[in-house]
């Protein structure tokens, strides 16, 4: 386990990549636990881009008041092309050192961890906290924001399902997930979708879906629900083609950014609070270059290099269940 060469006195915290409900609970926990442990905390606005723009300020306990119930991130977030370059990373490390920041807590997805890893090679100790609605970080079974996002999406799907049922329609509902289909899989199973299209699995054979609709209609089914992931896309044109081929009125609904917003669920607030506190505690003990995760039913932490080398796959059994539960 990597240890800091000298005692950590000041830590920084930032959110990076896509925002996720629950990030505020994590920031709050990092700030308050670190202060409680006697550390100084600097908040960095707008992720790595804000770091490069010197948007750094001290944070006190009050700065995170009234934020635990809010969606989004009070520190704002951004994606930064500049920070992916060696020059950008060296500049980032220099700015942190100028502000006396010994170690940095990065709340984001695995892209953000890669940025953190680069900083760790430049003398800044780092701790990653999994913050993404996509659940696509291999080292952890939970990521901050996923629970809120799937509940938001599921409620929306239920509403579309009601009208789809009344009008005997086929509905295609597109949920977020460019490369990862976890939101689609969980929401698809939880809303009883007849088809779930995952970027990791979909073979683009639309005829199979059409045959499925035709077959199921012969058995008396009057509505048909397809949950499609953003990474598969083409929901609107797919709807047109399915309607033409089956004669069943077909509509596409793209849920979009609504899935990112909203007040975090209790689960997201709780897990984010524990993870944020753990990050502050690790740094207080001088432990650096770790990622906090939830694995096999418990909170833990692993080396950031190891975390980034891991691969995550959609569990085959869940995909099988999704098919088996449809009649
Ligand atoms: P999400 O899952 O929400 O997309 P993410 O953290 O994976 O979150 P990215 O856009 O991949 O989101 O990464 C966030 C930022 O981290 C990037 O804009 C970039 O500044 C930095 N970053 C990403 N990849 C690297 C890398 N290989 N090296 C250094 N920095 C990186």
Q: Domain with 227 in it: what CATH number?
A: 3.40.50.460
The total number of structural domains that make up the chain: 2
Regarding whether 196 and 301 lie in a shared domain, the answer is no
**Whole-number pLDDT of residue 63:** 98
* pLDDT given for residue 155 in this prediction: 96
Strand partners for 254: 174
Residue 231, classed as helix, strand or coil, is: coil
Among residues 239, 260, 281, the one where a domain terminates is 260
In contact, 276 and 74? CB cutoff 8 Å: no
* Same-domain status, 115 and 181: no
Catalytic: 19? no
133 and 269, same domain (yes or no): yes
Share of the chain above pLDDT 90, in %: 93
Does one domain contain both 268 and 206? no
**d(CA 91, ligand 1 centre) in Å:** 17
Q: Does 327 fall in a domain?
A: no
**Residue 326 included in any domain:** no
Verify that 250 and 293 share a domain, yes or no.
no
Provide the whole-model pTM. Answer: 0.95
Q: How far is the CA of 82 from the centre of ligand 1 (A)?
A: 11
Q: How confident is the model at residue 305 (pLDDT cuts 50, 70, 90)?
A: very high
Q: Indicate if 233 and 168 belong to the same structural domain.
A: yes
The pLDDT assigned to 92 comes to 98
Average pLDDT over residues 210-221: 90
Q: How confident is the model at residue 220 (pLDDT cuts 50, 70, 90)?
A: confident
Q: Give yes or no: residues 134 and 273 share one domain.
A: yes
Residue 67 in domain = yes
- Could you say which of 203, 233, 260 is where a domain stops? 260
% of the chain with per-residue pLDDT over 70: 100
Q: Are residues 91 and 152 in the same domain?
A: no
Regarding whether 131 and 34 lie in a shared domain, the answer is yes
Report pLDDT for 209: 95
Q: What number is the average pLDDT over the span 120-132?
A: 97
The pLDDT tens digits of the residues spanning 261-296 come to 999 999 999 999 999 999 999 999 999 999 999 999
In a domain, 314, yes or no: no
Asked whether residue 221 carries a pLDDT value surpassing 90, the answer given is no
Confidence at residue 113, expressed as pLDDT on a 0 to 100 scale: 98
Report the pLDDT averaged over residues 148-171: 92
User: Is residue 39 in some structural domain?
Assistant: yes
Return the pLDDT at 73.
98
Instruction: Inform me whether the pLDDT recorded for 72 exceeds 90.
Output: yes
Per-residue pLDDT at 164 = 83
CA 112 to ligand 1 center in whole angstroms: 4
Assess whether the C-beta atom of 262 lies below 6 angstroms from ligand 1.
Answer: no
Distance CA 263, CA 260 (A): 10
Give residue 182's domain range: 148-260
Q: How far apart are the C-alpha atoms of 153 and 160, rounded to whole Å?
A: 11
- Answer yes or no: is the C-beta of 128 below 6 A from any ligand 1 atom: no
Ligand 1 midpoint to CA 110 (Å)? 7
Q: State in Å: Cα 221 to ligand 1 middle.
A: 44
Q: What tokens appear for 23 in the block?
A: 């990030």
Query: Could you tell me if residue 4 is inside a domain?
Result: no
Q: Does residue 69 fall inside a structural domain?
A: yes
**pLDDT of 192:** 94
What is the rounded distance in angstroms from the CA atom of residue 299 to the CA atom of residue 144? 13
Q: Pick the atom of ligand 1 nearest to 49's CA.
A: 20
In a shared domain, residues 255 and 285? no
Give residue 166's pLDDT.
83
Q: For a substitution probing ligand 1, which of 15, 48, 115, 128 has the most ligand atoms within 8 Å of its CB?
A: 115
pLDDT of residue 250: 96
| C-alpha to C-alpha distance for 308 and 255, rounded to whole angstroms | 30
Q: Is residue 280 part of a domain?
A: yes
Ligand 1 neighbour 228 (Cβ under 6 A) = no
Q: How many residues does the chain have?
A: 327
Least Cα distance to 53 among 95, 24, 11, 115 occurs for 95
Q: Measuring from atom 6 of ligand 1, which residue has the nearest CA?
A: 109
34 and 140 belong to one structural domain: yes
> pLDDT (tens digit, 9 = 90+) per residue, 185-203?
999 999 999 999 999 999 9
The predicted pLDDT at position 200 comes to 95
In CATH, what number is assigned to the domain containing residue 69? 3.40.50.450
- Which pLDDT score, from 0 to 100, does residue 327 have? 74
Same domain, 96 and 194: no
| pLDDT above 90 (res 1) | no
Average pLDDT of span 70-84: 96
According to DSSP, residue 125 is labeled E
Q: Which of 19, 45, 102, 134 is catalytic?
A: 134
**Which DSSP string do the residues of 163-199 spell out, in sequence order?**
HHHHTT-EEEEEES-SS--HHHHHHHHHTT-SEEE-T
Encoded tokens for 71: 């969606």
Nearest Cα to Cα of residue 274 among 72, 18, 32: 32
- Sheet of 290-295, strands arranged across: 56-58, 40-44, 10-15, 103-108, 125-130, 290-295, 298-303
Of 14, 17, 80, 130, best ligand 1 pocket probe by most atoms within 8 Å of the beta carbon: 17
301 touches ligand 1 (CB under 6 Å): no
């Amino acid at each position: 386990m990597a240890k800091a060469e000298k005692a950590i006195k000041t830590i920084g915290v930032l959110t990076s990549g896509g925002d996720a409900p629950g990030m505020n609970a994590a920031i709050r926990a990092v700030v308050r636990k670190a202060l409680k442990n006697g550390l100084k905390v600097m908040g960095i606005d707008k992720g790595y881009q804000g770091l490069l723009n010197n948007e750094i300020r001290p944070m006190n306990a009050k700065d995170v008041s009234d934020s635990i119930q809010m969606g989004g991130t009070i520190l704002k977030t951004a994606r930064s092309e500049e920070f992916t370059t060696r020059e950008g990373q060296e500049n980032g490390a220099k700015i942190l050192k100028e502000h006396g920041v010994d170690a940095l807590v990065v709340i984001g997805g695995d892209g953000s961890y890669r940025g953190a890893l680069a900083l760790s090679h430049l003398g800044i100790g780092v701790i990653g906290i999994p913050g993404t609605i996509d659940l696509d970080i291999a080292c952890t079974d939970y990521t901050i924001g996923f629970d809120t996002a799937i509940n938001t999406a599921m409620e929306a799907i239920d509403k579309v399902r009601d009208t789809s049922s009344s009008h005997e329609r086929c509905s295609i509902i597109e949920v977020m997930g460019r490369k990862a289909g976890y939101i689609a899989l969980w929401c698809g199973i939880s809303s009883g979708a007849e088809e779930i299209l995952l970027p990791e699995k979909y073979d683009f054979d639309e005829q199979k879906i059409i045959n499925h609709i035709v077959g199921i209609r012969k058995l008396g089914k009057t509505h048909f629900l397809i949950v499609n992931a953003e990474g598969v896309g083409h929901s609107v044109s797919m709807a047109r083609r399915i309607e033409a081929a089956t004669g069943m009125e077909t509509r596409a609904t793209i849920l979009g950014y609504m899935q990112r917003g909203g007040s975090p669920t209790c689960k997201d607030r709780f897990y984010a609070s524990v993870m944020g506190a753990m990050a502050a505690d690790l740094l207080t003990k001088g432990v650096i270059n770790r990622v906090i995760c939830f694995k096999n039913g418990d909170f833990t932490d692993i080396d950031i290099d190891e975390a980034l080398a891991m691969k995550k796959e959609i569990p085959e059994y869940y995909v099988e269940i999704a098919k088996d539960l449809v009649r």
